[in-house]
Every structure is written in C-alpha cells, then in structure tokens.
Structure 1
C-alpha cells in the first residue's frame, strides 16, 4: 500500500516539476499587433478588424458572397429570421419548465454578467464618453422594455 501511494505521489509530481522548470510565459513569443502568430490556425495574419476572417459574418456578407438578387435575399433573410424565432421559442419552452427560483437565479446571473460587461466598458472610457455610453445603455434598456411590453406573451 505504501509503495503504490508513493508511486502515485511521484507520478503526480513529475508534471508539476516539468511545468515549474520552464515558465510557460517565457516560452511564448512576443507578438505585436498585426503580426502572424505561430500555430495551425494563424492564416488570418492579423487581419481581424480589417475585413479578414471573422469580419462581415451575417446577412450582408452572405448576400454579397452568393450574389443574391433582392428577391432571393428577401427569402433567405425571412428563412433566417424564422429559424432564429423558432430557436428562441424552443429555448424558452425549456426555460419555462424551470422552477421559479431557478428562473430568478438565472435572471440575476444574466443581469450580473450584463453589469460586469458595462462596468468593463465604462472604466475604459473618458468622462465624456461615459456620459454618452450611459445614455446609450439607458436608451437600449428602454427600447428593450418597450419591445417586451409590445411582445408580451399571453399568460395561460
């Protein structure tokens, strides 16, 4: 028993020594913005934000890439919106089955995550930008509340 416990402790300690002997940060190359990072998924060559991969995803890009006519674009957009609404309804159906306390906890978690995001944004802004951002967030919340009131599902 003592031998197997000692062997297990030794086996678990070996990876710790390997990581401790060479700090990971020291092994990573310093990459300046716009330079190509090493690795298998680095084809973008720092093009994010410049129209590279990850840019233009969405309906306008699909319309452009597929060279859709206006009639085709309308059908594709309506089909996409229908799928999005169906997805929302499916998720909502299962969320409605949660107990009330779980629903309340989930709502609090969402609100906390939203507030954390807003706080992160606000702390990087100048005082003038903060005032504009807070006005934007207030307008966004009012628009959402109006939308919810207009689209309230009937109880029952």
Structure 2
C-alpha cells in the first residue's frame, strides 16, 4: 500500500515538476524529450505518430493509477488529495517567488485557467458518472 501511494504521489506531481523544468531541459518522458526527437530527424508524420503514442501511454498510466486509487478507503483518498494539494500549493508559491512581477501575472493567469479546467473536468466526470448510472 505504501509503495502504491508513493508511486501515485510521484505520478501526480510530474506535471508540476515539468512546469518547473528549466528551458531546454528534458520534458515529456526523460530521454525521449525534444532533444531526443530532434536528434532522430523525424518526419512530421513520424513526430505526429510518436506524440500520439506518448499521449496514449499517458492516458494508460493515468487509468492504471486511478484503478489503484479507487481501491483506497475514502479517508485515505481524501488525505492523499489534501496532501497533494498542499504540496502543489507550496511548490507553486516557491516558483512564483522566483518570478518577476510581469511573469507572476502570467503565472497567476495560467493557474486560474488550470483551476477552471480542473473544475470543468470534475463537473464533466460527475456528469459522465451520472449518465452511466441512468443508462444501467
């Protein structure tokens, strides 16, 4: 259980870590980041197909993670969500503190958009679950 929680926490913090990555550093998938693809001199079609495969892999990892999360008791799920939110908030505050005022404004705008996106996604997932119950 502890190993699963550690793996889940790591998986959920990766997007925030990617935002904090310095320009030109590895991004999506470590050794398979932009530099790796540039070295391969891919055609546009190859690049598109690889990006598609990487997107499918990301969705698959998310589904696997969610399956294990769903097995946790509700109290542990809530505790984990709270801890993740606190860690995300702390990291975002640290990142924001490094930015210049105009960068902070852009960062804040981005954060608002991300929160709106999360709220929309949560509402959609609730609606989807409700529709699934109605069709059963």
Q: Tell me which interval the TM-score lies in, with the shorter structure as reference length.
A: 0.5 to 0.7
TM-score (norm 2): 0.60
Task: Report the Cα distance in structure 1 between the residues aligned to 2:81 and 2:72, rounded to whole angstroms.
Answer: 12
* Aligned match of 1:139: 113
Map Cα deviations across residues 38-69 of structure 1 (whole Å, 9 max, x no partner). Answer: xxxxxxxxxxx685xx4576554343221111
Shift in alpha-carbon separation, 1:125–1:82, aligned structure 2, 3 A: closer
TM-score (norm 1): 0.54
Shift in alpha-carbon separation, 1:154–1:64, aligned structure 2, 3 A: same
Alignment: residue pair count = 107
* TM-aligned CA deviation for residue 102 of structure 1: 0.2
- Structure possessing the higher relative contact order (Cα contacts under 8 Å, 6 or more residues apart): 2
Task: Report the Cα distance in structure 1 between the residues aligned to 2:95 and 2:40, rounded to whole angstroms.
Answer: 36
Shift in alpha-carbon separation, 1:65–1:151, aligned structure 2, 3 A: farther
More helix per residue = 2
* Aligned match of 2:65: 91
* Aligned match of 1:154: 129
Which of 108, 113, 116 in structure 1 is aligned with 2:90?
116
Q: Please list every run of 5 or more consecutive structure 1 residues that lacks an aligned counterpart in the other structure.
A: 1-48
Provide the alpha-carbon RMSD of the alignment: 3.0
* Aligned match of 2:44: 70
